[in-house]
Amino acid sequence: MNTAIPGPEDLYLFHEGNLHRSYKLLGAHVTQWDGTVGVRFAVWAPHASEVRVVGDFNEWDGTRHPMHKVSTWGVWSTFIAGVRPGEYYKYEILTPDGTLLYKADPYAFWSELKPGTASRVFDLGDFNWSDQAWQDRKQSASVYESPLNIYEVHLGTWKKKPDGAYYTYRELADELVPYVKDMGYTHLELMPLAEHPYDRSWGYQATGYYSVTSRFGTPHEFMYFVDCCHNAGLGVIMDWVPGHFVKDEHGLRQFDGRPLFEYNDPGLAEKPEWGTLTFDFSKREVVNFLISNALFWMDAYHIDGLRVDAVASLLYLNFGKPRDQWVKNAHGGDENPDAIEFLKKLNHTVFSYYPNALMMAEDSTAWPLVTAPVHEGGLGFNYKWNMGWMNDMLKYMETDSYFRGGSHRLLTFSFMYAFSENYVLPLSHDEVVHGKKSLLNKMPGDYWQKFANLRALYGYMMSHPGKKLLFMGGEFGQFDEWKDLEDLDWEMLAYDSHRSMHRYVRDLNHLYLREPALWELDHSPDGFAWIDPNDAAQSVTTFMRKSRKPEDALVIVTNFTPVYHAKYRIGVPFAGEYVEQFNSDAGEYGGSGKLNPGRLKTEALAWHGHPDSLHVALPPLATVIFKPIKIVNRKATNAKRGRGQTDA
């Protein structure tokens, strides 16, 4: 069979921007030509005078393997017999001015281990997936009405070996996957996996968009990791970076001697804040490259969704630029219409192939309808990080607890817009780096109060409408902020307070999984009701979370001061009996042990707009959750009493 030359239909669709799986056309593919096994190489380089393949197989002598232009718009291709998986290669590109460039393959499936920069041939086939049961469950579940609790991980620093070496994908499957499952999370979010040259970019400045980083092993070993996640009932979300790319010489920058993946205009191309370049979303081949890449991670690696990084930097031309570098679009505005259309096309395309995918926007702006469908005028994501909630909550929590009353609005304002988008509440890596301090160390007060404050925050977060995300280390109260070249301070678990925090987060996560009121109606006002948002004087909030069954309702009270209230009255939605379902002040969590044991009976005393109320013990710096176990129909009860009957 002859598969050495890309077909004209695929080439046409690629240049039109509609070849949704262009990674099957471009790159290095093990194949046959006239019965001979080898590799077909194809690359887009429209400005090049000549393109050659160099590698181990030809002693890096480009004259032995020139490529041939197979499309008017600059796709080059050749077939080289005998090349095997694992071999190193690059493209040798002769520019119009006679300069020779040596570029890694933009569509390479594997890369040389840093500090090397070559691409490597890899055949992605021959992996036996065993996650069909997971895929079937995913198809039948609603992402909106299911629990979603994400553990954000940087694979290079979650744990390291005693000699400082990385854990491999296989070793992480054995260590990380059971840990996350036991902790009660539903999904792992992995910080950028695409190949990147510099460790301290954390993967956000990539050179190999189709190449899972070789730091931790091979592509097949990463498939094994994802397969293990799915078999453990864990979804996998990848941090994905379509907004910008690194300037390293072997990467995408001026790929064929001129701007290609980036804008021609430096004013549009430069991202001065990060020292990177913006993709040119006006070029159909570039849009094709990125949308195909999103599908590639789902096709090849069974990734369940993407967290799209820095959406604000796509939406606005002048994001992060000093005022003297500002530019305007054709209408005189700040928006980037090409990028906006790209995001809409991205989401529309992904959902056409993967209706149950997670497409999450990390967006710090007030752009409307981020999670509305494209056909309704939205950007088409199905989730958005709630950066406003995060900023307000951390600002509030960092305030000395005795002065929080004056900042009470920071607690309650998020409910004004909580249902305007489908939100994820993030406490991510961005909040524990660059001198911001760890979550625990942000908390005011003495040693005990720091832990109590953090437990109260986590309880409030878990009760607040929206899905959840916590960065690694937050679950045991790491004192130091994230150290991006070292692993987490696991030795802290030898200390009671950190061990108790770890247990608390695990139990809180499992409570979340058990209680449908905390997720079933997350994106509907029907799933939430204030009981009392106004107790600023005592820095207390009381609200209700609801599911479709009234008996599954929860009443959540959070005390954000260290003052203990032995009898704090709250209005409740149902007459009857309640039990304390969860208390962050429990002794096993490191709290003071101020609990509400046994059954709590309501009184027919109107409070907080409800005809019935409870007296509860409200511990210092704590979140307490109550659940009805016996609901009394007061009208029916009064009717019985009118006939001379009494309650049993």
pLDDT(357) > 50: yes
Question: Percent of the chain having pLDDT more than 90?
Answer: 93
Domain over 151-472+500-513 is classified CATH 3.20.20.80: yes
pLDDT at 634: 67
Q: In the chain, where are the structural domains located?
A: 8-120, 151-472+500-513, 525-642
591-638 per-position pLDDT tens digit: 999 999 999 999 999 999 999 999 999 999 999 999 999 998 866 554
Token look-up 């609901």 returns 631
pLDDT(5) > 80: no
pLDDT at 35: 86
**Superfamily holding 8-120:** Immunoglobulins (2.60.40.10)
**Superfamily holding 525-642:** Golgi alpha-mannosidase II (2.60.40.1180)
Please count the CA atoms within 13 angstroms of the CA of 134 that sit on its side-chain side: 19
Question: Percent of the chain having pLDDT more than 70?
Answer: 97
Q: Are domains 8-120 and 525-642 of this chain identical in fold?
A: yes
| Distance separating alpha carbons of residues 426 and 430, to the nearest angstrom | 10
Q: What are phi and psi of 299, to 5 degrees?
A: -65, -55
CA 194, distance to chain mean position in Å, is 15
Beta pairing, strands 528-535 & 540-545: antiparallel
Global confidence as pTM: 0.95
SS3 640: helix
371-425 per-position pLDDT tens digit: 999 999 999 999 999 999 999 999 999 999 999 999 999 999 999 999 999 999 9
Of 245-259, 316-330, 509-523, where does mean pLDDT reach its minimum? 316-330
pLDDT at 595: 98
Q: One-letter amino acid identity for 17?
A: G
Q: 245 near 263, Cβ under 8 Å?
A: no
pLDDT(34) > 90: no
pLDDT at 642: 43
Q: Which band of pLDDT confidence, cut at 50, 70 and 90, is reported for residue 1? A: very low
State the average pLDDT over residues 149-155.
98
Active-site residue numbers? Answer: 309, 362
pLDDT at 66: 97
Q: One-letter amino acid identity for 276?
A: T
Torsion angle of alpha carbons 170, 176, 178, 183, nearest 10°?
A: -170
Q: Which helix (H) or strand (E) holds 151?
A: strand 149-153
pLDDT at 4: 61
342-356 per-position pLDDT tens digit: 999 999 999 999 999
